[in-house]
Amino acid sequence: MSAPHVVVGLSGGVDSAVSAWLLKEQGYRVSGLFMVNWTEDEEGYCTAAEDFQSARAVCEELEIPLHRVDFSAEYRARVFEQFLAAYRAGKTPNPDVLCNREVKFQPFRQHALRLGADFVATGHYARLEQATDGPHLLRAADDNKDQTYFLATVAREHFERVLFPLGGLTKPMVREIARRAGLPNHRRKDSTGICFIGEREFRSFLAQYLAPDPGPIEDDAGAVVGEHRGLMYYTLGQRRGLAIGGRRGAQEAPWYVVAKDAARNVLVVSQEADHPLLMSRQLLARPFHWIRPPQRGELQARIRHRQALQRCEIRLADDGSVVADFAEPQRAAAAGQYLVLYEGEECLGGGEIALVQS
């Protein structure tokens, strides 16, 4: 009987490379699959070509085949267009959540299975427990690298026949495995940011697709203290790039974005880092996607990647939305981000934040 065939999503980075090495060491028949998501890059900011060469070098070292698939059309329609629509609506989107839900665990997974895979594997820091009632998504052993936040809206059935080899490892352990195995990318830096933006200035990129809409910057007392380039360029809690000079009567302290008044096209700022406008005790998320419905109302939550788990109590509405009441106020929660819920080690699901209440 031949060994099970695993198709590993290879990004060119060390995490996916170690995933492939581990699976081969465990006796699987391993193939690599490199995914192209973005092809419009006249200025060379996206590293897709370099990433592919890195993935190819890993496959040569491991003596496994490498397949390449172009999902740029799907990515643009399912991720990038939603990304732009969210900014037009004044939200703060998270394309990594969309990419996992709309591409990596849909067309990418389906393509891997068409290649004859018995299993599909990725370099995500997360764990899966295949139970009689279906897959359970669990937090990674390395809480600093845990990526369940980005996986919380993936359909439960799409976790079937999926492996996360790194779920029980820490990042230093993964680096050491790569070094000892002689993987050619063991020193490669982790990728940061979004491929279609790369290292370029965010505002200049967004301006290619969304027309700037300048307006006044007001302090929390209503006085005009500057001009913004467009509300879409700013995030709640932001303190850099506001271009607010010294103000008579103001403290020598940084300014923070505390609110966006879309109706008046006004950016509201304050020198109070934890201004009441930034703090929220109640969030409403809709639509909410459950990987597994909760057994009780008292849960833990995250509203951003790497945030420490926050205690909350949830209520379910008839329309499928979730209201979360937090034990401690949450700073800089913004519409378009995701509320992700946990019960102990298990990630139960997530939904887009639609309403923030102080």
- For residue 70, give the amino acid letter: D
Contact 110, 265 (CB under 8 A): no
Radius of gyration of the chain (CA): 22
Closest CA to 337 of 203, 64, 153, 172: 153
- For residue 88, give the amino acid letter: R
Contact 252, 261 (CB under 8 A): no
Contact 71, 108 (CB under 8 A): yes
Q: Is 287 helix (H, G, I), strand (E, B) or coil?
A: strand
| Cβ-based neighbours of 49, under 8 Å, separated by 6 or more | none
| Strand 266-270 relative to strand 279-290, pairing | unpaired
The span from the CA of 69 to the CA of 37, in Å, is 9
| Strand 5-9 relative to strand 119-121, pairing | parallel
| Active-site residue set | 99, 195
Three-state SS annotation for 17-81: HHHHHHHHHCCCEEEEEEEECCCCCCCCCCCHHHHHHHHHHHHHHHCCCEEEEECHHHHHHHHHH
Contact 3, 27 (CB under 8 A): yes
Q: Is 300 helix (H, G, I), strand (E, B) or coil?
A: strand
The span from the CA of 124 to the CA of 137, in Å, is 12
Closest CA to 32 of 3, 62, 74, 4: 62
